[in-house]
Amino acid sequence: MESEIAGWLGVVFRFVHVLAAIMWVGNSLLFTWMELNLIAPKPADEPESNGLLGHLDMLHGGGVFHLEKRLIQPQAIPLPLHWFMWQSYTTWISGVLLLIVTFYPHSGAALLDAAKTTLSGPAAIGLSVGGILVWWLIYDLLWRTKLKDRPLLAAPLTLVLLLAAAWFYNQHFNGRALYLQIGAMMGSAMTANVFFHIIQNQRKFMVSLLAGSPHDLKYGKQAKLRSLHNHYMTFPVLFLMLSGHFPQLSSAGNRIAILCVLIVSLVTVKFLMNSRYYFRQWLVAIFGTFIAACAAIGCLLASPTAQSSTSDPAIQAGSRLFISQGCAACHQSGASQLAPNLQGVFNSRQILTDGSVVIADEAYLRQSIKQPQLQIVKGYAAAMPVLPLTDEQIDQLVAYVKSLK
Ligand code: HEC
């Protein structure tokens, strides 16, 4: 019953999370796009004092949006004035709830990689929550220092610190939880940027405007820098949030290198998309980045360290089949609502839907793969497909499942 409720809440929170994120990311991309497409006023057009920064015309819905960006004059504060923050807050709140129902139940067992760590589940939850908080403090502090004016130094430093955190989590967490943890840290920093910088700074200059002072550019500049950070974090975070669907990446051995290629290439792609107004070869450069990133990740996946550390060829072959035949998509540790976690399943007691108890010996494992519908594990649907596997492949898969401790 408990897992059914968690499963259903997972559906609700995931849907709200996706909807809110689409609205937030959509806004972020559109605002940056408008910013880049503003046509600066000709000096003769408008007197400087009017504060016009640029204008833009956009065709939509059978008419033209004529848009102007200007500094606000204290004597003419427009009403109603729309603020944008709830898309971000809703994304974060639903994301936290989703994290709680998918990764934190069963005392956090879904976070851990039992083969690598002796950490307890509650300690893993502590590390996960703590990491989200500490990452925000580190990132925020770094970009409050003078380094914020030297993005070519500060951005790579931020990346190195993030990869160091990923390395740490990789000692304890399974692949699926690792990517999601990094995604959650970055995503939370994005919402914290909205909450602590963007909205606060806008509030500050609105307060000073209401008191009759002129529009203070300092606040807007700070808000805009964090907006830009959020803009560049969007693509990597979206990828990491979807990474649960990419078992090949989460079960790879050199996840930190993969993470590095992913973040760098996706930020580069976004940068190149924004550079199209002054860089003529932007499209070629995007294709180049895309192909280089695909090739680099392909090589990382194919390299020997990506495979399991065992030297037994049957287990190695089984490990490859487990991914190529799609077993990992359902069975990967962490995807426990879809299919049982196979870690430690060999020789364990299994309760079936008819209430009977069996020992998961070799014969049971073989039958579970060959004729999955015969014995259904309690709490799961008869959802496992019959795959066209040769006897040799089944032997290799059984050897691999047996090796999962
Ligand atoms: C579409 C999702 C899906 C895929 C793909 C899938 N399984 Fe399963 N598997 C399940 C579900 C659900 C169960 C639990 C119900 C049952 O016992 O059939 C299960 C049960 C099992 C069990 C028994 C586990 C236990 O705790 O007793 C084994 C072993 C197993 N699968 C191995 C594999 C292997 C190997 C592959 C790839 C060839 C694979 N599965 C592919 C969904 C899947």
Q: Do residue 277 and residue 156 come from a single domain?
A: yes
Whole-number Å distance between alpha carbons of 14 and 325: 27
Asked whether residue 166 is assigned to any structural domain, the reply reads: yes
Mean per-residue pLDDT for 252-264? 92
Same domain, 275 and 138: yes
pLDDT digits (tens, 9 = 90+) for 282-328: 999 999 999 999 999 999 988 765 444 566 788 888 888 887 788 87
In-domain check, residue 285:
yes
CA torsion sign, 120 to 124 to 130 to 134?
positive
Digit-coded pLDDT (tens) for 115-134: 677 888 889 999 999 999 99
Residue 392's domain is classified under what CATH number?
1.10.760.10
Same domain? 178 vs 325: no
Q: Are strands 349-351 and 357-359 parallel, antiparallel or unpaired?
A: antiparallel
Query: Which tokens go with 86?
Result: 């709830």
Residues 205 and 331 in one domain: no
Query: What pLDDT shows up at residue 175?
Result: 85
Same domain, 125 and 272: yes
- Pairing outcome for strands 63-70 and 52-60: antiparallel
Contact status, residue 250 vs residue 230, Cβ threshold 8 Å: no
Range in 35-39, 110-114, 227-231 with the lowest mean pLDDT: 110-114
Distance CA 293, CA 167 (A): 20
401 lines ligand 1 (CB under 6 A): yes
In this structure, are 246 and 390 located in the same domain? Answer: no
Highest mean pLDDT among 39-48, 104-113, 139-148, 307-316: 139-148
> What is the whole-number distance in angstroms between the Cα of residue 346 and the centre of ligand 1?
13
Task: Give yes or no for a cis peptide into 80 (omega within 30° of 0).
Answer: yes
Give the chain's domain count: 2
Percent of the chain with pLDDT over 90: 53
Does the N-terminal peptide bond of residue 41 adopt cis geometry, omega within 30 degrees of 0? no
CA distances from 122 to 4, 107, 206, 405 (A): 22, 5, 44, 20
Residues 217 and 317 in one domain: no
- Residues 124 and 219 occupy one common structural domain: yes
User: Do residues 187 and 91 touch, judged by C-beta distance below 8 A?
Assistant: yes
> Is 56 domain-assigned?
no
Question: With contact defined as beta carbons under 8 Å apart, do 306 and 323 qualify?
Answer: no
Position 157 in a domain: yes
Q: What is the reported pLDDT for 310?
A: 61
User: Mean pLDDT across the stretch 168-172?
Assistant: 93
Say if ligand 1 is within 6 A of residue 199 CB: no
Which residue from 201, 204, 209, 200 is spatially nearest to 76, judged by alpha carbons?
A: 209
Average pLDDT on 253-280 reads: 94
Among 259, 291, 306, which residue terminates a domain? 306
Domain of residue 156, residue span = 118-306
Phi and psi angles of residue 66, each rounded to the nearest 5 degrees, phi first? -100, 115
Give percent above pLDDT 70 in the chain: 93
- 378 lies in a domain? yes
> How confident is the model over 178-203, as pLDDT tens digits?
999 999 999 999 999 999 999 999 89
**Which residues have C-beta within 8 Å of that of residue 386, sequence separation ≥ 6?**
370, 371, 372, 373
Measured at the CA of 25, the angle between CA 21 and CA 26, to 5 degrees, comes to 110
From residue 88, how far is each of 24, 27, 198 by CA, in Å? 6, 10, 11
* 254, two tokens: 């050199």
Query: Which of 251, 286, 306 is the endpoint of a domain?
Result: 306
How many angstroms separate the alpha carbon of residue 224 from the centre of ligand 1?
49
pLDDT, tens digit (0-9, with 9 covering 90-100), for 371-397: 998 889 988 888 888 888 999 999 999
Tell me: do 289 and 382 sit in the same domain. Answer: no
| 128, 236: one domain | yes
Residue of minimum CA distance from atom 5 in ligand 1: 327
Instruction: For residue 292, give both structure tokens.
Output: 């280089």
Atom of ligand 1 nearest to the CA of 329: 5
* For ligand 1, mutation pick of 384, 393, 402 (most atoms within 8 Å of CB): 384
Give yes or no for a contact between 53 and 71, defined as CB atoms under 8 angstroms apart: yes
Q: For residue 2, what pLDDT is reported?
A: 62
Q: Does residue 86 lie in a domain region? A: no
Average confidence (pLDDT) over 33-41: 90
With vertex at residue 79, the alpha carbon angle to CA 76 and CA 80, rounded to the nearest 5 degrees, is 160
Same domain, yes or no: 230 and 184: yes
Element counts in the chain: helices (H) and strands (E): 15, 4
pLDDT at 210: 87
pLDDT at residue 45, as a whole number: 63
Question: Are 218 and 276 members of one domain?
Answer: yes
Q: How confident is the model over 256-276, as a mean pLDDT?
A: 95
* Closest protein CA for atom 37 of ligand 1: 327
> What average pLDDT does range 42-54 have in this prediction?
72
Between the two ends of the chain, the Cα-to-Cα distance in Å is 28
Nearest atom within ligand 1 for CA of residue 372: 18
Q: What's the CA gap between 219 and 222, in Å, rounded?
A: 5
User: pLDDT band for position 46 (50/70/90)?
Assistant: low
Residue 250 lies in a domain: yes
56-66 confidence digits (pLDDT tens):
999 999 999 99
pLDDT bin (cut points 50, 70, 90) of residue 144 is very high
Residue of the nearest CA to atom 41 in ligand 1?
A: 327
The confidence band for 47, taking pLDDT boundaries of 50, 70 and 90, is: low
Residue 42, domain member (yes or no): no
306, 322, 354 - which closes a domain: 306
Output the pLDDT for position 307.
Answer: 47
